[in-house]
Amino acid sequence: MTEYQSIAGKVLAGMPAFFEHASPASVVADVIYEAATDGTTRLRYTAGEDARETIANRLQADDASFMGMIKTQFGL
């Protein structure tokens, strides 16, 4: 859809910088394995320091501020 091309392009352009600080796939895989095998009904898991930081920012910021940080991160 042409309506989304501008936003999609900006998000894609921001991805390399995003992944520079992302946890390695092995960390995510370990957490997925834990979730699948821990025998609990837990629904949410945090995979890596980058995710912990994002969650901490989310808990400290109001909705508008958090969305502003995300938009800035991806150049939106």
What pTM was estimated for this model as a whole? Answer: 0.68
pLDDT at 1 exceeding the cut of 80? no
- What span, in angstroms and rounded, lies between the C-alpha atoms of 25 and 20? 12
pLDDT band at 11 (very low <50, low <70, confident <90, very high): confident
The pLDDT of residue 41 is 96
CA 9 to chain centre: 18
Mean pLDDT of 4-33: 89
Residue type, 65: S
User: How do residues 30-59 score in pLDDT, each as one tens digit?
Assistant: 999 999 999 999 999 999 999 999 999 999
